[in-house]
Structure 1
Amino acid sequence: MSAARLSPQPARERLADLQYALAWRLARALPAGVTGRAFRLAADLAALTGAGPAQRLRRNLARVVPDASPAELDALVRDGLRSYARYWCEMFRLRPGDAAAVHALMDRGMSGTGPFYAALAEGRGVVFAVPHSGNWDAAGVWVVETLRRLGREPVFTTVAQRLRPESLYRRFLAYREALGFEVVPAEAGTAAHRALTRRLRAGGVVCLVADRDLTGSGIEVSFFGEPARFPTGPARLAALTGAVLMPAYPHFSPDGWVVPIADPIPVDRTPHAVAKATQAIADAFADLIAQAPQDWHALQPLWTADREPR
């Protein structure tokens, strides 16, 4: 088939893969200061246009800070896009050899880790539920390096959507596997469930992004006072395996990272335990996000009122 007859979607996918590959290479080749300023400039330009992701972020953050003036909301959206750009800049530059330095810097900003260490000592699994925020890759490196220092298998399991094109998905998969993440595609269904439960029953760690229902199988919760759909996976896994369920909120400090971990959420096998625990995750996320809303990367529709019918 000639190039002229190729559908535009595959062409766009190939272009996206090339763009990511170029960004990855340039971010690692240029000095950190130059790369950081370039990403910050891109964020500021996106904030000035006020369209697309910036518009969605503004609508979402308006629910977090309902009393903000238009000028305050403008500043918050700008800072939110800068935070999102900082994540990508740091992600492109992160290498497996950085694990010790990342752990040392991240460890200074960790709080609420007592139940995590206690669960590992007891041989119980741990489910971390996190929103889309801060640098979750650096937080994952902290988990891997902590497990290594405790003499445990230095790996945890997480779930990710399968990207298109396949080459781009493989690029991200190789990157995260090199950091010590076991990544299973969300589309794997039963196989993904088995991988997660196997990790937890062995006393290991699972980390799941839990502020957006990507599969349509979640339940409705109250989130910042409005209905939203959250995935039930974290609570179901904890109920099934006896793992400790802990919400956490990775976000940024000026020169590093901060990760407050909320109190463990009790969950058992009673009929309404999963729904109750999922609502508790939403409540914990609301409390944590309100502390640093600029680092919540909410660039997608989250609330029921904003989501289009399937």
Structure 2
Amino acid sequence: MSAIKKIRRKIYYYVAFVVSKVVLAIPYKFSVGVLGPFFGAIGYCAARSSTAIAKKNLRECFPKKSEKEISKIAKAVFINQGKNFFELANFPKLNKERLEKIASVENADLIKKSLDKGKGILFVSAHVGNWEIIAAMTAGFGVPVNVVAKRIYIEGLNNMLVGYRTSKNVKVILKDSPDTARKLIKALKGGEIIAMLIDQDTNVPGVFVDFFGKPAWTPSGLAVLALKTGAQVLVGLDCRVGKYAHKGIISGPVLIEPSGNFNNDVAALTQKATNVLENYIKKYPEQWVWFHERWKTKQT
């Protein structure tokens, strides 16, 4: 790595560090309810390429919506991300009691029922609402929660984000760790929860499944793990239901009839999980990351 790149990364980290400390000094409701929407709206106007991607994806997935509706949803997407940033920056002062004041979990009893089977739980999730909130709330039930995450290339920022999560008793398993597979198996055998986001087109093993009527390259690791271990698959999502309020939604289990062909079963389970996620995204379109290039990998 060049010296200039190292200096640039240090600058990014120190800026993020200072901002995080400033946010903690600001009242929670002001930072999330005022600053979040303000900077989200700025992002909508300033990040033109991302805004264009969001509108393009929305037009293709909701062809009956007017251009005015498309723009309104796209702007709301950026505002949601602005709120997400300030909520995450506030994690150090959000203890269990304060979290319970802003968030509730629907169908939490499914967790115990699934854990009683003795093979752990795989939470299939998506970038809806604030996905960090549902992980923190679930960990608050006293059940060990592991999230599978990509390492941020700036070490200081990566450590900061991992620290935010672990402060809520959420353990982080980094995708590029040499012992990732071992940690995943160990967690499930220990009766823990593993949460995976499968709604983005990333450079990981996957399969093409139908998503909003188009083939989308989708991570298949969760399906592989479920079929090999017998772990129960539940859907775990967060949705905003007010200016500050969140509702965690747990549903499932997501099941398929085994065909006898492992690869076909992986594709079938990934498709069924994706179908559930798509239905929630249709219900809360303003809360999903439409600026992501979800269909960039083409089927040949």
Alpha-carbon distance in 1 for matches of 2:125, 2:160: 23
Pairing 1:91–2:88 present: yes
Amino acid at match of 1:278: T
Q: Within 2, Cα distance between the matches of 1:54 and 1:200?
A: 39
Deviations 1:199-251 (A, max 9, x none): 11222111111112423311111100001111111111111111111223212
CA apart distance, 1:7: 4.3
Aligned to 2:35: 38
Q: CA deviation at 1:192?
A: 0.8
Shift of 1:33: 3.8
1:227 correspondence with 2:215: yes
**5+ residue gaps, structure 2:** none
Q: How many residues align?
A: 294
Partner in structure 2 of residue 65 of structure 1: 62
Which position in structure 1 is the counterpart of 2:289? 297
Question: Could you tell me how far apart the structure 1 residues matched to 2:245 and 2:185 are?
Answer: 32
Structure 1 partner of 2:135: 140
State which of 17, 34, 38 in structure 2 corresponds to 1:21: 17
Counterpart residue identity of residue 217, structure 1: P
Mark the CA change 1:199 to 1:50 in structure 2 (over 3 Å): closer, same or farther: closer
Give runs of aligned pairs for residues 220-299 of structure 1, distance below 5 A.
Answer: 220-254=208-242, 255-267=244-256, 270-271=260-261, 272-299=264-291
Alpha-carbon RMSD across the aligned residues, in angstroms, is 2.3
Q: 1:53–1:11: structure 2 CA closer, same or farther, 3 Å change rule?
A: farther
| Alignment check: 8 A CA contact 1:134 1:297 kept | no
Q: Secondary structure at the match of 1:188?
A: coil
Equivalence for 1:199: 187
Partner amino acid, structure 1, of 2:50: P
* CA deviations over 1:113-171 (Å, ceiling 9, x no partner): 4432211233331111111121122111111111x2xxxxx421121111122122112
Identity %: 19
| CA drift at 1:11 | 2.9
In 2, are the aligned partners of 1:103 and 1:145 still within 8 Å (CA)? no
Cα distance in 1 for residues equivalent to 2:194 and 2:231: 9
Unpaired runs of 5+ residues, structure 1, are 149-153
Alignment CA distance shift 1:65-1:183 (3 Å): same
Instruction: Select the residue among 103, 116, 119 that pairs with 1:106.
Output: 103
Matched with 2:72 is: 75
1:177, distance to aligned residue in structure 2 (A): 1.6
Residues 15/270 of structure 1: CA separation in 2 closer, same or farther (3 Å cut): farther
Query: Aligned pair 1:55/2:52, yes or no?
Result: yes
Between 1:110-119 and 1:222-231, the stretch displaced more is 110-119
CA distance in 2 between counterparts of 1:74 and 1:155 reads 40
